[in-house]
Structure 1
Amino acid sequence: MTSSAVPIMGQERINSLDILRGVALFGILIMNINGMALPGSGYGNPNAWGGASGWDLTTWFTVNIFFESTMRTIFSMLFGAGAILFMDRLSEKLPGNEASEIYMRRNSLLILFGAIHAYLLLWFGDILFYYGIAALILFSFRKANFKFLIAVCLLIMSIQITKGVLKYNKLIDDYEKSIAAETKKEAGETLTKKEEGAIKKWTGIWERRNTQPEKAKEEIEKRHKGWWDNVLAFKGRVMTMESYVMYDFFFFDAFLAMLVGMMVYRLGIFTLEKSTGFYGGMMIVGYLIGLPIRYYITMEIYNSGFNPIAFKVMDIFLDVSRLALAMGHIGLLLLFVRYNILGFLLKALGAVGRMALSNYIMHSVIFVFLFTGVGLSMFGELMRHELIYVWAIICVSQLILSPLWLSYYKYGPLEWVWRSLTYGERQAFKK
């Protein structure tokens, strides 16, 4: 390895990217904590678990409108921007294909880290696995012109919207067949096997979206066991997430946002090269498009009694709403950065963002201790609004500890491991 093949140092970093990454990381945490602490479909359905009234319902409304998918989108956009930044800077230092080899090794390691995180730290919602795979494909698009990138983004969005419409129509068909069969059954008529199957199928769909008490109890009992028991009990869920769900949803979700992030970075938006009016307009337009869509969908889900059909409506409009809201959030946050509003907080968020990998994995370590039999066995015991208290404690802790850590060390601990393996030699760690 040549001496010029070194990671980006502190003085070379772009502070606005680190601050945005820190905010997005905490936004992802507010979603992930529901998946780690609530059984079954409690992650997105308060009627299934976690409370569907009072502060619990208010929490669900707020999180679903402002955070769901949006913070993951910002994080993915930043990853796309970071991939371009990484290759640009590395290509200036290294000859031939060496920069490309380092890029490929870096993201192949991310796939490995993601698999370890999902299986051994028990977080089936891991995003590192998908990011690593998407980043390998992203490499081929790094020099593409804007027209081509926009066309690819529109194609992905069209495919996802079409899939959403088809799934929605299929669900409507299943529901109508079930209702027809139920009506016939109530009239005392004999059902055919097909009609009995229609009722059973819709019942299964409803129960998956609205977790039944006996299923929830079973999952809680499994979570309250030891670490290895948890690994064995939930490896099937991880396998599904990293195979079928990846190809059906998460790859396109991450890849689309990464492409958008590449373009946003190239335009100088992330690096504060635009006017204040531009960021203000970006915020207003993003919110004017994204918030009404997300509010409408959230109300539809609530008014339907959390019917699975209403949740499918969100899939249809997900990409439009999440990208619009992400742009709105980014515009607002970059105005804070430009004028150094709450500068002390921005500085701490920048440190959190610099240690994003370590802090992200630490969330799962904390969750394993809090919610499984490894530690306090609190899985299924806290209500949705109570999880916000846990979220706040973790955020405050990392806002304090991340700057403190970086005052002594050049990188977060996992960032150091990642860089050392990426460059094939032990990197300097202490300052």
Structure 2
Amino acid sequence: MNPTSSSSNRIALVDGLRGIALLGIVIAHALGWFIAGFIPESVWQSYQNSLSTTIVNYFDGIFISGKFYTFFSLLFGLSFSLQFTNRKADDTHFELRFLWRLVLLFFIGFIHHIHWRGDILGIYAFLGIFLLLANFFSNRVVLILAILMSLNTPILVIRTVEYWHPSSKVSEVVAKKEQEKSNKEQLKNFQTLKAGSYTQILQQNFKDFAFKADFQWNSGRIFVTYGFFLLGLLIGRLRLFDHFQEYKKQFKKTVWACFILNIVIVTFFITLQATIPWDKLPSWFGIFSEFLFSIHSATMTIMYVAGFSLLLSKISWKGILEQLSYVGRMALTNYLLQSFVGILLFYGFGLGLAGDFNPAWCLLGAVVVFLLQILLSKWWLSRYYYGPIEWLWRSATYGKWQKMQRQKIPIG
């Protein structure tokens, strides 16, 4: 096999997977009106009796929620691994340059966060340091850490310890007051994002750095993200995409194993929800359900990566792969563009439509936005080598302007 052809196929496949990850991300964000936080119960109440919302909520819970930030994270780890593997033999500054790229990514993420607090780039920049350190670990150590982190083991251990050694119990009166305070804070934040001025929204999002850090830690998302960084690193080391044809059988087995496991888990939760009220379940069940959901999210992510890799590698899917690749090649630009469209639609300095649209319409709108991104990306890349943000990031990394515009082929 021609090494150049193999490398080209691998890059196209990874770009196609990035495109799919971005589709899942825009759907996940749109279903919550790009609020990126806890939405007040009063906002959801108007949709409680809507059949379409119920269907979309089940669709989100089973197929979207918690699956695509992990998908994107795995690809980040894979990209790092490919960069490290393909570095030139005399490149002695790779680690320093990668650290500088992370600093720049954090700066981009900071600007993004104060406009939209769901930004993940700042988190990637922070965890990228630990990804660089993990590059010195053996494959066995990386695999063990990837499994433990992707299953959110640190938080499950903390929950278990708290269950067996509970702290002093807060009185019901105090707990009720704290919950009321939290509900008021959520409503206030939601109203600021929905109807506030540009300055008010920037101030609110800046203050929400603390909320974001608390959420990342207490939910375990920061550990799960790192786990999928490591999984991507390992996939790159093993060159699974370089020798994809040789591993097709293993990819198929992985898809079927994950599919069967998820059928069992989802069926269990749906049956439980239909038969037993949550408050009637034993207190330890909360920890057990978190564990099952971690397995569900992790294996669904792996199923998506393996399954879509198999589909996109088919000759009959070549056209779809090409279209998705356009979006994936401009992943950073398109990720930020999704946020830009979302905040213009739903935030106060835009149309202020947060909470005003049925989530089913938001799902449809997210798909339309993604299709438009395919057209825009294709048009842009026919004229330029990089997306605009990728070009700025690359230029700042190397300290000089990178070649941007493609040469026009003279006619006649």
- TM-score, normalized by length of structure 2? 0.84
Other-structure match for 2:70: 73
Q: 1:11–1:390: structure 2 CA closer, same or farther, 3 Å change rule? A: same
Taking only the aligned residue pairs, the percentage that are identical comes to 22
Post-superposition CA distance 1:111-130 (Å, at most 9, x none): 121111111x2x21111111
In the alignment, residue 127 of structure 2 is paired with which amino acid? A
Post-superposition CA distance 1:184-218 (Å, at most 9, x none): xxxxxxxxxx6xx324415755995xx67x96477
Quote the Cα distance in structure 1 between the aligned partners of 2:71 and 2:361: 26
Post-superposition CA distance 1:120-146 (Å, at most 9, x none): x2x211111111111111111114222
Q: CA deviation at 1:385?
A: 0.9
Other-structure match for 2:108: 113
The answer to whether the 8 Å contact 2:29/2:36 transfers is: no
Quote the Cα distance in structure 2 between the aligned partners of 1:70 and 1:397: 23
1:283 counterpart (244, 251, 255): 255
Post-superposition CA distance 1:240-265 (Å, at most 9, x none): 21x33344423212111111111122
In the alignment, residue 286 of structure 1 is paired with which amino acid? C
Q: CA deviation at 1:168?
A: 7.1
* RMSD between aligned residues: 3.3
Matched, 1:254 2:225: yes
Post-superposition CA distance 1:327-357 (Å, at most 9, x none): 2112211111221333322211111111010
In the alignment, residue 408 of structure 1 is paired with which amino acid? R
Q: 1:277–1:314: structure 2 CA closer, same or farther, 3 Å change rule? A: same
Q: CA deviation at 1:405?
A: 0.9
Post-superposition CA distance 1:204-244 (Å, at most 9, x none): 55995xx67x9647723552122111112332223321x33
Q: CA deviation at 1:74?
A: 1.3
Name whichever of 297-306 and 263-272 sits farther off: 297-306
- Unaligned regions of 5+ residues in structure 2, if any? 1-6, 407-412
Report the number of matched residues: 393
**1:28-427 matches, cutoff 5 A:** 28-37=25-34, 41-42=38-39, 50-51=47-48, 53-90=50-87, 92-96=88-92, 98-119=93-114, 121=115, 123-156=116-149, 157=151, 158-165=153-160, 197-202=171-176, 204-205=178-179, 216=187, 219-220=190-191, 222-241=193-212, 243-248=213-218, 249-271=220-242, 272-297=244-269, 300=272, 314-427=289-402
In the alignment, residue 270 of structure 1 is paired with which amino acid? F
SS for the counterpart of 1:126 is coil
Quote the Cα distance in structure 2 between the aligned partners of 1:26 and 1:43: 26
In the alignment, residue 226 of structure 1 is paired with which amino acid? S
The answer to whether the 8 Å contact 1:297/1:313 transfers is: no
Q: 1:415–1:322: structure 2 CA closer, same or farther, 3 Å change rule? A: same
Name whichever of 222-231 and 324-333 sits farther off: 222-231
Q: 1:169–1:126: structure 2 CA closer, same or farther, 3 Å change rule? A: farther
Quote the Cα distance in structure 2 between the aligned partners of 1:419 and 1:24: 22
Q: CA deviation at 1:108?
A: 1.6
In the alignment, residue 15 of structure 2 is paired with which amino acid? D
SS for the counterpart of 2:38 is helix
Quote the Cα distance in structure 2 between the aligned partners of 1:49 and 1:299: 26
The answer to whether the 8 Å contact 1:40/1:48 transfers is: no
The answer to whether the 8 Å contact 1:220/1:379 transfers is: no
The answer to whether the 8 Å contact 1:111/1:132 transfers is: yes
Quote the Cα distance in structure 1 between the aligned partners of 2:89 and 2:399: 16
Q: 1:13–1:327: structure 2 CA closer, same or farther, 3 Å change rule? A: closer
Name whichever of 335-344 and 421-430 sits farther off: 335-344
Quote the Cα distance in structure 2 between the aligned partners of 1:17 and 1:81: 9
SS for the counterpart of 1:104 is helix
Q: CA deviation at 1:107?
A: 1.3
Name whichever of 81-90 and 12-21 sits farther off: 12-21
Name whichever of 31-40 and 344-353 sits farther off: 31-40
In the alignment, residue 74 of structure 2 is paired with which amino acid? M
Q: CA deviation at 1:394?
A: 0.5
Q: 1:398–1:291: structure 2 CA closer, same or farther, 3 Å change rule? A: farther
The answer to whether the 8 Å contact 1:348/1:402 transfers is: no
- Unaligned regions of 5+ residues in structure 1, if any? 1-9, 178-193
Quote the Cα distance in structure 1 between the aligned partners of 2:201 and 2:358: 22
Post-superposition CA distance 1:64-100 (Å, at most 9, x none): 101111111111111111111112222x25432x111
The answer to whether the 8 Å contact 2:330/2:390 transfers is: yes
SS for the counterpart of 2:137 is coil
In the alignment, residue 81 of structure 1 is paired with which amino acid? L
Other-structure match for 1:19: 16
In the alignment, residue 107 of structure 1 is paired with which amino acid? L
Other-structure match for 1:5: none
Post-superposition CA distance 1:17-70 (Å, at most 9, x none): 111111011111111123444696349999567546401011010111011111
Q: CA deviation at 1:380?
A: 1.6
Q: CA deviation at 1:311?
A: 7.5
Q: 1:89–1:240: structure 2 CA closer, same or farther, 3 Å change rule? A: same
